[in-house]
Structure 1
Amino acid sequence: MKVIEQEIATLKNSVSEMWSLVHQQIYNAGEAMLTGDKELAYKVINRERRVNAFELKIDSDCEDIIALYAPVAIDLRFVLAMYKINTNLERLGDFAESIARFTCNLPDKEPIDPQLIKETHVEEMLEELLSMISLAQEAFDKESSEIASRIFIKDNLIDEINHSSTAIIAHYIEKHPESALAGLYMAGIIRKMERFGDHCTNIAEELIFYLEAKVMKHMDKTEKEANH
């Protein structure tokens, strides 16, 4: 095996490990938010440092491969894609931490009403986001642009939940003014989760770029779906 092949294999393993860590962070942050488990939320906050350390290592590895081995063609596309995917994974880790902090900051006397969780479909939103991350990792492991393209369709549901949430939360606060703080927190969480979806689609775009040399950036969703 050539040295550059060894370096690329090592890079792929590092990205895969970070992916698994970020997936667990988002799962734990979601569980903490839904159940009000502050101990689990603190665990997410403390593990964010591991995500940041992974990001720095992967960035450095990508830069070293380009500087030392001058990769070309698919090897170059792989390294460039990993560099950008790494950034998106770190952002997902940041969002997980922010949701965990929301759970820690919400006063014990104002827990989230299960009815609000149900009406906003936030649990369904979380499940879809975890599914998108899993799909992206499967596409990465199997080197499948067809699997990656499914993420674009899933993001539509995330957008629909986000768009409908404002009116739902406003109506809830109107009926339950004593729970206004929890309602506002929920609105912030849903906006962050919508951004989760955007970062997942960014990752899918980078995987397709790596595998097919096709640039999906700036295409609208209809164009992306038509291209796959």
Structure 2
Amino acid sequence: MQNRSSLDQELASLRGLIADMANRVDEQFADAMNALLQGDTDLAEQVVAGDDAIDALELRIDEQCERILALHSPVAVDLRTLIMAVKINTDFERIGDHCRNLSRNARHLANAPGLLNQTRLPKMADMSRTMLREAEISFLENDRLKARKVVARDLQVNRLHEETFETLVGMCEEGHEQSEVIAHLLTVSKALERISDHAKNIAQGVVFMVEGRDLRHRDLGGEETDSSSEVPPDDEFPSGKTFRPEA
């Protein structure tokens, strides 16, 4: 078995790879939403092409996790870190997939400039991206309180998804002339809701890594929600905060 210093170096390398993954996914998310908001099909194609690099990095991170497990047989918090790194890696890769899928809607929305801004989708995107960034920080800094706030914010994104779904379905029922574009907006809303779910998964993993407490299916264990999990007010997320507005 290797010594403690060697294990710390391997874990630091792993955290660096995950930070790289998080930054790449965040850039993909920003580019995907800007492609949608601006009808920029060239930028959308760059996002689709960039997904291969995220897939390759996912494999590198898995290999690093396997290496640490084989060389060091970690226990306690080190083992929890390794377990959650594998899961978090998968969540980041899935977010990358959703960014790719978001971009594939850009050419359809280009035929209806401004329709996306008539929905709650820009605000959903702002919330989801904030969750993604804070989930990354909570992992890198072992910040369980920030992680719990990310988990709570998922409720807001879910609510906006439901509102957006009702609004878009209502447009179709009223015979909106751009019903095909509305169908693609429904796809966008679902992708954003799934991105927030993956950010929540990452945050839940951080809580487990730090506290050894599993926040999934809390209703089964009767766990009470503490003050750190209170949902922040909507005005923390002014629409258009993190993405460039349409020119």
Matches within 5 A, 1:86-105: 86-104=89-107
Cα distance, 1:51 vs structure 2? 0.4
What CA distance in whole angstroms lies between the structure 1 residues aligned with 2:8 and 2:141?
A: 17
Match of 2:208 in 1: 209
**1:87-122, Cα deviation, whole Å (9 max, x unpaired):** 000000000000011114x175x32x52x4234210
Q: Is the 8 A contact 1:120 1:161 kept in 2?
A: no
Percent of aligned pairs sharing the same letter: 28
Q: Is the 8 A contact 1:32 1:41 kept in 2?
A: yes
What CA distance in whole angstroms lies between the structure 2 residues aligned with 1:144 and 1:23?
A: 19
Q: Is the 8 A contact 1:30 1:126 kept in 2?
A: yes
Amino acid at match of 2:187: G
**1:38-95, Cα deviation, whole Å (9 max, x unpaired):** 1111111111011001100101111111122101111111111110000000000000
What CA distance in whole angstroms lies between the structure 1 residues aligned with 2:6 and 2:227?
A: 35
What CA distance in whole angstroms lies between the structure 2 residues aligned with 1:18 and 1:94?
A: 13
Amino acid at match of 2:101: S
Check 1:224–1:172 CA distance in 2 against 1; reply closer, same or farther (3 A cut): farther
SS at match of 2:28: helix
Q: Is the 8 A contact 1:23 1:130 kept in 2?
A: yes
Cα distance, 1:215 vs structure 2? 1.1
Cα distance, 1:219 vs structure 2? 1.9
Report the RMSD for the aligned CA atoms in angstroms. Answer: 1.8
What CA distance in whole angstroms lies between the structure 1 residues aligned with 2:14 and 2:211?
A: 20
- Provide the aligned length of Structure 1 versus Structure 2: 223
TM-score under structure 2 length normalisation: 0.85
Check 1:101–1:223 CA distance in 2 against 1; reply closer, same or farther (3 A cut): farther
Check 1:157–1:82 CA distance in 2 against 1; reply closer, same or farther (3 A cut): same
Amino acid at match of 2:14: L
What CA distance in whole angstroms lies between the structure 2 residues aligned with 1:50 and 1:85?
A: 17
What CA distance in whole angstroms lies between the structure 1 residues aligned with 2:224 and 2:48?
A: 35
Q: Is the 8 A contact 1:153 1:225 kept in 2?
A: no
Cα distance, 1:141 vs structure 2? 2.4
Cα distance, 1:133 vs structure 2? 0.8
Match of 1:159 in 2: 158
- Return 5+ residue gaps in structure 1 as ranges: none
Matches within 5 A, 1:26-175: 26-104=29-107, 106=108, 108=110, 110-111=111-112, 113-114=113-114, 116-175=115-174
Q: Which has the higher contact order (CA 8 A, sep 6+)?
A: 2
TM-score under structure 1 length normalisation: 0.92
What CA distance in whole angstroms lies between the structure 2 residues aligned with 1:72 and 1:107?
A: 50
Q: Indicate the larger mover: 176-185 or 35-44.
A: 176-185
Give the helix-richer structure, 1 or 2. 1
1:18 and 2:21 matched: yes
